[in-house]
Amino acid sequence: MRIAVGSDHAGYCLKAAIAEAVESWGYEVVDLGSNPGEMGVDYPDYARAVAQAVARGETDRGILICGTGLGVSITANKVPGIRAALCHETYTARMSRSHNNANVLCMGGWVIGVGVATDIAQVWLETPFSGVDRHQRRIDKIHALESEARHGGE
């Protein structure tokens, strides 16, 4: 499985640690930035790059990190086909995959440490979508809403 990772300067250190862990678990990591020493970069640029890589099928899933995780989650969810989940503990990580089939994980580098973030990422990567009809029906409604928004309908 290919995992795109991205962060702004506030999330860089956590992103680097998560990318290393993800690779150690046997996943291929595609690092879309930021890079060491870059300061004052804008989280929407990295969130867009990761979300688009996932939406286009260039990677299977994505992991995004900024200071709080809020900015990257808001941005990633603007890309059609993306279901980005902001998770700061393992329960929501598991549920975001099992119930929502989230394809982008967002975390905050100022909010959680490396140990917790690593546990979250592992749970999130290992949890499959349940495929239960009611959950798929709800995801289909999200896709319909995205389609309506793209076409100016209500």
User: Digits of tens for pLDDT over the chain (154 positions)?
Assistant: 999 999 999 999 999 999 999 999 999 999 999 988 878 899 999 999 999 999 999 999 999 999 999 999 999 999 999 999 999 999 999 999 999 999 999 999 999 999 999 999 999 999 999 999 999 999 999 999 998 888 876 5
Say which of 99, 106, 135, 143 is annotated catalytic: 99
DSSP one-letter string for 109-141: TTTS-HHHHHHHHHHHHHPPP---HHHHHHHHH
pLDDT value at residue 39: 81
Domain ranges of the chain: 2-150
pLDDT value at residue 69: 98
Yes or no: say if 104 and 62 are a contact pair by the CB < 8 Å rule: yes
Yes or no: say if 6 and 62 are a contact pair by the CB < 8 Å rule: yes
Say which of 9, 66, 87, 106 is annotated catalytic: 66
Q: Is 135 a catalytic residue?
A: no
Q: Is 66 a catalytic residue?
A: yes
pLDDT value at residue 105: 99
Residue 6 and residue 45: Cα distance in Å, rounded? 9
Q: Which two tokens stand for residue 144?
A: 């319909």
Q: What is the CA radius of gyration of the chain?
A: 15
The CATH number that domain 2-150 falls under is 3.40.1400.10
pLDDT value at residue 153: 63
Residue 30 and residue 21: Cα distance in Å, rounded? 13
